Each structure stands twice: as structure tokens, then as C-alpha cells.
């Protein structure tokens, strides 16, 4: 696939993301014109009500949704590249469930809302999430290996089993919470940006430092598509490279789950669409997957908060409504 096609797709994707940002900024319970938004952002005759809507409610939610979608799209591309399995996804493999279990455990131990725990609590959540994600990944490695190798088919089955087990533990722990914390945990587990704030945005930023490493090593993901014999003949340390990429993906997924809950299917759909758009080279797939994931979260969140207004549907539910039929379609096509 040519670089020209890649840049065309990238620019088009960024344009769509900008359109979604425009819709989210100007539409809602309190409608604002484009001129109002521009004046508020540029601090031209600022008005308190406009500042409150833009800087406290809408903008942090939009920025957080963009970062989460971008991270989940890239993590999905990594996992599919490492496993050579087009049905692999952080949610299906149990990484989301492991990270979610750890964050709910964190919420239970601190017995308070996420925002009430202050900066220390907010910064600790991704660390708890990473620990849970690593636990899920370790369990998958233990049970999905056969003859010293990672079996792609067994990987999916083990991932589904681990996700179910961690999900059951998460429900059990959440039922032990007091009513207010339980209500918050249920909303969060559905994959919601409702509680987005600038603290959550800041906690996501350090994990984005992994992106340069991922892009610089993207050619290794291309080599993973070769046979094991070909990989060894190239002098490639297969297991070491797999561990590096999986750790990067677990970090991105866990940080995303810590601030937005479990938003499934982004990591499944985004890489598939990226491969259709820009071909099979991961130097192109990775950024496009991130952009597609960003668009999915931004559009899903906009639909969830406007179509059922004044009620609100979590972005994770909106994305799942799209993702489940697409997953079934992929399963049917893989059989053929």
C-alpha cells in the first residue's frame, strides 16, 4: 500500500474525528454555537456558564475519549499482530476483565468515589489496572501455550474463560460495596466517560509515551506474520519481542480501563478496518487503528449522551451494539 494512500486515510480519519469533536462541543443539554465555543476557547469575552460547559464537562470528556479510543485501537492492533489472530482483542482475551477487577478492588479498598480519592488515588488506578492486566496475561500464557508455543485457537478459548472468571469476581466484589460506590462501579464497568475530568486525562498521558517505542518496533509485528522457522532464521528473539509488545498493549489497555471502564470491541474492529484501508504493514496499521478507535469512542459517546437525552447511555454499550454483530460476522467469515 502506497504512502499516499496511508496519508489520505490518516487525514480523512482526523477530519472525521474533528467533526465528532465539533458535534460533541456544540450539542447537548446546553447547546452552543461554533462562535460561542471559539470565543470560549480563545478567552474572548468569556462567560461563566460557557466556561463551565466547555472546560469542566465537554472538553475533558472529549479529550479523554480520544485518548482512550486511540490507545485501545493501537493495543488491539498489537495483540492481533503478536498472536496472528484476527479475532484477538483485549476484551475477548481477558485483559480488560483483569484490569477491571483490579480497579474495582481499588475502589472497594478505598471505599469512596474515584474523584474523591484525589490525585494519589487517580494516579494509582492505572497501576492497579496494569497489575490486573498482567495477571490476566500471565494466566493466558500459562494455559494457552502448547509445546512451548502460543496456540492462537486456544488463546481465544482461554481468554474467554479468564474474562468470565474475572468478571464474576468483579461482580462479587462490587456487591460488597456500599450503595453509592456500587452504583458508581456499575456505571464505570459499562464503559462510561460520564465522570471524565482533567485528572483522568493527565493519568493517560504517561502511558502514551509507549507509542514511539511501538511505532519504532512496528516492523517486528510484520515479521510475526512469518512462520516460526522464518523468524528464527532472521535471528529474531521471538519470545522477548512478544513480551515487549504484550506489556505495551497491557499498559495501554489497563490505563484506559482505569479511567473509562471496559469499552469492548474497539481493539477488535479498529485493526480490521485499518488493514482494509491501508494494507498489511504495521507501520501504517498502528496509527490508523488508533485513529479509527478514537472516532469510534467519540461518535459512540456522542450518540450515547444525545440520542436518549436527558438519559445517558454508556459509550461501552453503544460500541458493543455495533461490535457484537461485527464479531459474529468475523466468526462466520473465518469459518469460510
- Phi, psi for 261 (deg, rounded to 5): 80, -170
Cell 471559539 locates to: 38
The answer to whether the CB of 86 falls within 8 A of the CB of 225 is no
Q: Is it the case that residue 109 has pLDDT exceeding 70?
A: yes
Please report the pLDDT score of residue 16 as a whole number: 95
CA dist 249 and 89 (Å) reads 10
Provide the mean pLDDT of the chain: 83
Please report the pLDDT score of residue 126 as a whole number: 76
Number of domains in the chain: 1
Q: How many residues does the chain have?
A: 336
Pull the grid cell for residue 229: 522457522
Which CATH number belongs to the domain containing residue 107 in this structure?
1.10.3470.10
Mean pLDDT, residues 62-85 taken together: 91
111 Cβ contact list (under 8 Å, min separation 6):
177, 178, 181
Residue of 56, 180, 53 lying closest to 110 (CA atoms) = 180
Please report the pLDDT score of residue 116 as a whole number: 44
Q: Which of 6-20, 112-126, 297-311 has the lowest mean pLDDT?
A: 112-126
Q: Where are the beta strands (DSSP E) in the chain?
A: 145-146, 149-150
The answer to whether the CB of 323 falls within 8 A of the CB of 91 is no
Please report the pLDDT score of residue 278 as a whole number: 92
- Report pTM: 0.89
Q: Is it the case that residue 273 has pLDDT exceeding 80?
A: yes
- H helices then E strands: how many in the chain? 16, 2
Q: Would you give the DSSP letter of residue 216?
A: H
Q: Could you list the residue range(s) of the whole structural domain that residue 140 is in?
A: 3-335
Q: What is the percent of the chain with per-residue pLDDT over 70, rounded to a whole number?
A: 90
Q: Is it the case that residue 115 has pLDDT exceeding 50?
A: no
Amino acid at each position: 500500500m502506497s504512502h499516499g494512500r496511508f496519508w489520505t486515510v490518516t487525514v480523512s480519519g482526523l477530519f472525521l474525528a474533528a467533526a465528532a469533536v465539533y458535534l460533541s462541543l456544540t450539542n447537548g443539554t446546553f447547546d452552543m454555537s461554533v462562535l460561542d465555543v471559539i470565543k470560549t476557547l480563545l478567552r474572548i469575552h468569556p462567560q461563566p456558564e460557557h466556561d463551565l460547559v466547555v472546560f469542566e464537562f465537554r472538553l475533558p470528556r472529549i479529550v479523554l475519549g480520544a485518548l482512550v479510543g486511540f490507545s485501545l485501537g493501537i493495543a488491539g492492533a498489537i495483540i492481533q499482530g503478536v498472536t496472528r489472530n484476527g479475532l484477538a482483542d483485549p476484551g475477548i482475551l481477558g485483559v480488560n476483565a483483569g484490569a477491571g477487577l483490579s480497579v474495582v478492588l481499588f475502589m472497594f479498598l478505598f471505599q469512596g468515589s474515584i474523584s474523591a480519592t484525589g490525585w494519589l488515588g487517580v494516579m494509582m488506578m492505572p497501576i492497579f489496572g496494569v497489575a490486573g492486566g498482567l495477571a490476566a496475561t500471565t494466566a493466558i500464557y500459562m494455559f494457552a501455550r502448547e509445546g512451548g508455543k502460543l496456540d492462537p485457537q486456544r488463546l481465544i478459548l482461554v481468554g474467554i474463560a479468564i474474562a468470565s472468571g474475572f468478571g464474576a469476581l468483579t461482580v462479587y466484589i462490587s456487591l460488597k460495596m456500599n450503595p453509592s460506590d456500587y452504583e458508581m462501579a456499575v456505571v464505570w464497568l459499562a464503559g462510561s466517560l460520564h465522570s471524565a475530568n482533567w485528572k483522568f486525562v493527565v493519568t493517560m498521558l504517561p502511558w502514551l509515551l509507549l507509542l514511539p517505542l511501538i511505532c519504532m518496533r512496528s516492523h517486528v509485528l510484520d515479521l510475526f506474520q512469518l512462520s516460526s522457522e522464518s523468524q528464527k532464521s532472521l535471528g529474531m528473539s521471538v519470545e522477548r519481542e512478544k513480551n515487549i509488545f504484550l506489556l505495551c498493549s497491557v499498559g495501554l489497555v489497563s490505563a484506559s480501563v482505569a479511567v473509562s471502564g471496559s469499552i469492548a470491541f474497539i481493539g477488535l474492529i479498529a485493526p480490521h478496518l485499518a488493514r482494509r484501508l491501508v494494507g498489511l504493514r504495521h507501520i501504517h496499521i498502528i496509527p490508523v487503528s488508533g485513529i479509527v478507535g478514537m472516532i469510534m469512542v467519540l461518535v459512540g459517546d456522542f450518540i450515547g449522551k444525545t440520542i436518549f437525552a436527558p438519559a445517558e447511555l454508556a459509550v461501552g454499550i453503544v460500541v458493543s451494539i455495533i461490535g457484537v454483530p461485527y464479531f459474529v460476522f468475523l466468526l462466520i467469515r473465518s469459518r469460510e
